[in-house]
Structure 1
Amino acid sequence: MTAVTTQPRDEKLLPPITELPPGLKELQNITEIKIHQHLDSTEVFCCWQRPARYSLYDGTKEEEHFLYAQEVSECYARQCLGANRGFVMKLSNADQQEVLRLQRPLRCPCGICWWWCCCIQELNIESPPGTHIATISEDRSFCCCPGYYITSDDDRILFRISFSCFLCKLCASVSIQITERGEPVAEITKNCSGNCKDFCGTENEYTIKFLKDLHVQDKIIILGSSFLIDYNFFERQQRTCC
Structure 2
Amino acid sequence: MDNQRPPEHPSYPGPKTGYPGPQAGYPRPQAGYPGPQAGYPVPPVGYSGAGPVGFPVQNQPMYQRLVIPTGVPLMPAPPPPLNYPPGLEYLSLIDQILIHQQIELLEVLTGFETNNKYEIKSSLGQKVYFAVEDTAFCTRSCCGASRPFTLRILDNLGQEVITMERPLRCSSCCFPCYLQEIEIQAPRGVPIGYVSQTWHPCLPKCTIQKEKREDMLKIAGSCVVYSCCSDVDFEIKSLDEETMVGRISRHWTGIVREAFTDANNFRIQWMLK
Which bin holds the TM-score, normalised by the shorter protein? 0.7 to 0.9
Q: Which amino acid aligns with 1:58?
A: S
Which residue number in structure 2 is paired with residue 98 of structure 1?
160
Deviation (angstroms), 1:108: 3.2
Question: How much is the aligned-residue C-alpha RMSD, in angstroms?
Answer: 2.2
Q: Does residue 62 in structure 1 map to residue 121 in structure 2? A: no
Secondary structure at 1:198 match in 2? helix
How many pairs does the alignment contain?
192
| TM-score, length basis structure 1 | 0.72
- Taking every aligned residue pair, what percent have the same amino acid on both sides? 27
Deviation (angstroms), 1:125: 0.6
Which residue number in structure 1 is paired with residue 70 of structure 2?
none
Secondary structure at 2:206 match in 1? strand
Deviation (angstroms), 1:133: 1.1
Q: Is the 8 A contact 2:81 2:89 kept in 1?
A: no
Which residue number in structure 1 is paired with residue 92 of structure 2?
28
Displaced runs of 4+ in structure 1, greater than 4 A?
A: none
| TM-score, length basis structure 2 | 0.64
Q: Is the 8 A contact 2:191 2:211 kept in 1?
A: yes
Q: Does residue 194 in structure 1 map to residue 194 in structure 2? A: no
Distance 2:182 2:256 in 1: 31
Q: Is the 8 A contact 2:251 2:264 kept in 1?
A: no
Which residue number in structure 2 is paired with residue 79 of structure 1?
141
Which residue number in structure 1 is paired with residue 219 of structure 2?
161
Note the alpha carbon deviations across 1:71-100, whole angstroms, 9 max, x for none: 111210111111110011111111111111
Q: Is the 8 A contact 2:131 2:152 kept in 1?
A: yes
Note the alpha carbon deviations across 1:129-171, whole angstroms, 9 max, x for none: 111111111100x212120001112221111000112443455
Distance 1:123-1:18 versus aligned 2 partners, 3 A rule? closer
Distance 2:135 2:109 in 1: 21
Secondary structure at 2:233 match in 1? strand
Q: Which amino acid aligns with 2:196?
A: S
Distance 2:221 2:244 in 1: 13
Q: Is the 8 A contact 1:35 1:207 kept in 2?
A: yes
Note the alpha carbon deviations across 1:116-139, whole angstroms, 9 max, x for none: 54x310000111111111111110
Moved more, 119-128 or 163-172: 163-172
Q: Does residue 135 in structure 1 map to residue 199 in structure 2? A: no
Q: Is the 8 A contact 2:232 2:250 kept in 1?
A: yes
The runs of 5 or more residues in structure 1 that have no matched partner are: 1-14, 215-242
Q: Does residue 49 in structure 1 map to residue 113 in structure 2? A: yes
Secondary structure at 2:265 match in 1? strand
Secondary structure at 2:86 match in 1? coil
Deviation (angstroms), 1:111: 4.7
Deviation (angstroms), 1:177: 0.3
The runs of 5 or more residues in structure 2 that have no matched partner are: 1-79
Distance 1:145-1:110 versus aligned 2 partners, 3 A rule? closer
Q: Is the 8 A contact 1:40 1:202 kept in 2?
A: no
Distance 2:105 2:230 in 1: 20
Distance 1:49-1:138 versus aligned 2 partners, 3 A rule? same
Distance 1:80 1:199 in 2: 22
Q: Which has the higher helix share?
A: 1
Distance 1:138 1:132 in 2: 18
Secondary structure at 2:267 match in 1? strand
Distance 1:139-1:54 versus aligned 2 partners, 3 A rule? same
